[in-house]
Structure 1
Amino acid sequence: MTGRAPLVRVYWYSQTGQLKETVDAFVGPLADAGWRVDRRQVVPKEDYPFPWSARRFVSVLTEAADRSTVSDVSIEHGGAVEDDRAPDLVVYAFQVWYLAPSVPMRSVLVRFADEFAGVPVIGLTACRNMWYSAAVAVRRQVNQVGGRYLGTVAAIDDAPPAATFVTTLRWLLTGRREPFSVFPRAGVGPEQLARVRAAGEAVAEATADAGGALADRVPGALRRSDAAVVDQTIAAADLLAGRFFGVWARLAKAARPGVPRRLVLVAFLCWLFGSVLFGLPVVALVRKLAGRRFDRALRRALAPVLAAEAKS
């Protein structure tokens, strides 16, 4: 590394503020270590208000799950640092919508593709528990525009999946995330943010050494800090369901506006609830029957987006 302070550029879009908290946890240690942090907020021209209305939440499937869909976005500089030189590292912070990168964030890689060409990129996400299909899509798109994808940092809601299905929907549709009845608080908790912070510290420590290319040292730092912990069963269900979400999106787009499209979306909701109830148990059973072959196939599928080995 040269004598100048290294520069990390962060591209982010967050409706709820949760992803911004996760970004802060990761880049905080870099700033403490002397990095310059250039934050660039992605602003979609089409508003995606939060909380979602039920109708908008369902209808956005046709945009989100069809990964060819992009929208008009602009970039606003945020924070004290605005540095237009080529960054040493880019953090691409993305929400997950219907198992795909959010429409505003994937639009950045189309509208501002030149800003990612030739630079190392870390994908960072904060979501319920299914980030795998979205990370695969992000990695593919980053590489298509000439970037180098180094790995993923993922923070999840680590409450039981059945509970998070309820609490996350409640949060998205009402804006309320506090605990209620037998259900925990929705969203990423302090332990997950601490793990993300540890990943930032590991990257800061690894890149403080002047030997070798900075980008070559980042994957090892992510690996040592468990930056993206993999749940094998949930990951397999995610990768499988991601394909079906795309099918549903195309069906909804092909249907005529009005009653025909609403019927497709109602059918999708029925399929979605059925998948939540029965999908994970079926995948867990298949994994048990297939044994190591299942895990090897999953590791191969996820290897491009991970800097760490998948954990059982």
Structure 2
Amino acid sequence: MSAPGAPRPPRPAPPRVLTVAGSDSGGGAGIQADLKTMLALGVHGMSVLTAVTAQNSLGVHGAWELPAEAVRAQFRAVVDDIGVQAVKTGMLSSAATAATVADLLAGLDPRVPVVVDPVAVSKHGNALLLGEAVEVVRSRLLPRATVATPNLDEVALLTGVRVADEEGMRAAARAMLGHGSRWVLVKGGHLPGARHRAEAADLLSDGREEHWYRAPRYANPHTHGTGCTLASALASYLVLGHDVPAAVGLAKEYVRGAIEAGFPLGAGVGPVDHGWRERGRAH
């Protein structure tokens, strides 16, 4: 026991997760959502900004990509001093940025899990993955992914597979796995007629086993940031020691609560509530 008045020994640092993504000035998605999620789940979040967006509840009003040297410098500053135990990627925008990030990830210990959220279109329909960047993500980033987390629009962009039903999600998973990721989580929230269904279904597969995750669909329209939040939660649970199927289940449960508690903000689509668990405890 320490003597009275003696300084306490510093506690060990929590697990460290790095997000490589764009900034959302409205705070609902992107780097801001990632760091809020990581804090809520008990890991230390660090960031590499790839782009700055002028964004609010109504949409993306402007986007400015950071130069490759700025992306590289941020990554090296974090990795070379602090170290990372898991990585999540989000908005990469251009081929140059995607290639820079792929090169940086290739230099990490292969045991470091990487969650690739191949962000292509914002919640409001704004394109966030441009031109040749699609091929770079497909050929150079996905082979480094422990888990890729595409929605159905992103599956179509990356593979050409268009999904109309749950059986089609299996074909989508096979096509995505063909580009090299170890696991793929195909998010089924955009299935035709999905809004009228009582539940949403996602499929996790590594080509040998598959896991279906089903959750109630909430009428709450305030869902900005769900994809970023899910990928960040997944990276956090992986670094906390869970295997991929368990980490997906825990991440889905966290996002379920965040969607249920999503709140209005501004004149458009509000964000999910990253602090829903703490607010629940407070009451």
Q: Settle same-fold status: TM greater than 0.5.
A: no
Name the TM-score, length of structure 1 as normaliser. Answer: 0.36
Bigger proportion of residues as strand: 2
Greater relative CO, 1 or 2 (CA 8 Å, sep 6+)? 1
